[in-house]
Amino acid sequence: MTWAGRGDRNHHFLVSSVLAVTELEDSKSTMSWSLNSLLPDLNRRLSQVTELPPLPEVAHGLLKLKQDPGADARKLAALIELDPSMASQIMKYAGSAFFGYRGKIESIQDAVGRVLGFEKAMHIALGLAAGKALSHSREGPLGLRAFWTHAFKSAHLMQALARSTSTQPRPSLGLLYLAGLVHDIGFLLLGYLLEPEFNILNRAVEENPDAPITQIEVETLGLTHAELGVGLLRQWKMPQEVLAVVLNHHNVYYQGEWANYVRLAILADTLLKKEHGGDGELDALPANILIALGLTDDDANEALASLNEQQEGIDGLVAQIVQSER
């Protein structure tokens, strides 16, 4: 499906997000990354984008299987086996230190059934399929290496925090993991569609590590990675919970239906900023979110400690992904 050719609402949403910026009062910022002169050219180039990258075929199958009440680890493994590259990665992940399995893994069935389990294998596979469709620069604060490092850490933290929350109904751990993996996918889409603009943003973020990333994006591009990402994932028909996280993970005031998913993403980003970097914008854990989730500072710090114990395993996973993109 094309954006412009069929008047797709995602195309309208994306382009109008940029056009609206040109109607705002000129920024008075004098920061080195203020590049509003890019906006007219960006408007033009986005208006010429007639098609988003398609969701890989294996991901279509994964989403269909996810809705199948009869789905199980055997069916999932059989589907993953249809994509040799993904099958190889899943086997490597299952055997990595991150998952701590000491037995011998001889097949995808072993990897899914014995090590990862249906839910985790499903959402890792979906996240990988989405990311592989949008390969671009590996280095820099927004490159592939940084993206996947932050993605796996966010996914781990969101699940760890959710296990301690007292809120009901408790968010799905599987969907939280998927949301953590893809919540910053807008960066990948920008690099895929508009590499020069991505390189400028990547450099601006690197040169201004203490500036809020959404402010840098609006100053340089006129839209954010959240807006880009949700336009893509909506077309890919990702679950509504995931869309809410992608669009709102910098919005501490979000009160929609999937607020607890968004709150967990914001907490994860904030915790990661303290020790691991990433695109979190808050310096302290927001009290209103901790209260809404029934969490304490100690709960958050315990979740972060559990992540720190997995650092080596996560680094190994990311190295495998980045290597596979060469």
The Cα 273–Cα 293 span in angstroms is 20
Per-residue confidence at 75, pLDDT binned at 50, 70, 90? Answer: very high
Handedness of CA 82, 85, 90, 91 (dihedral sign): positive
Q: Which CATH superfamily is domain 1-15+34-51+137-319 in?
A: Hypothetical protein af1432 (1.10.3210.10)
How confident is the model over 156-213, as pLDDT tens digits?
999 999 999 988 888 998 899 999 999 999 999 999 888 888 999 999 999 998 899 9
* Rounded-to-5 percentages of helix, strand, coil across the chain: 65, 0, 35
The one-letter code for the residue type at 81 is: E
pTM of the full predicted structure? Answer: 0.80
How confident is the model over 8-52, as pLDDT tens digits?
444 444 443 333 333 323 333 333 333 444 545 555 655 555 566
Whole-angstrom distance between the N-terminal and C-terminal Cα of the chain? Answer: 29
The answer to whether residue 225 scores a pLDDT higher than 60 is yes
Query: Is residue 290 within 8 Å of 300, Cβ to Cβ?
Result: yes
Per-residue confidence at 235, pLDDT binned at 50, 70, 90? Answer: confident
Per-domain residue ranges for the chain? 1-15+34-51+137-319, 53-133
The Cα 126–Cα 55 span in angstroms is 10
Residue 42's pLDDT is 58
The Cα 124–Cα 78 span in angstroms is 15
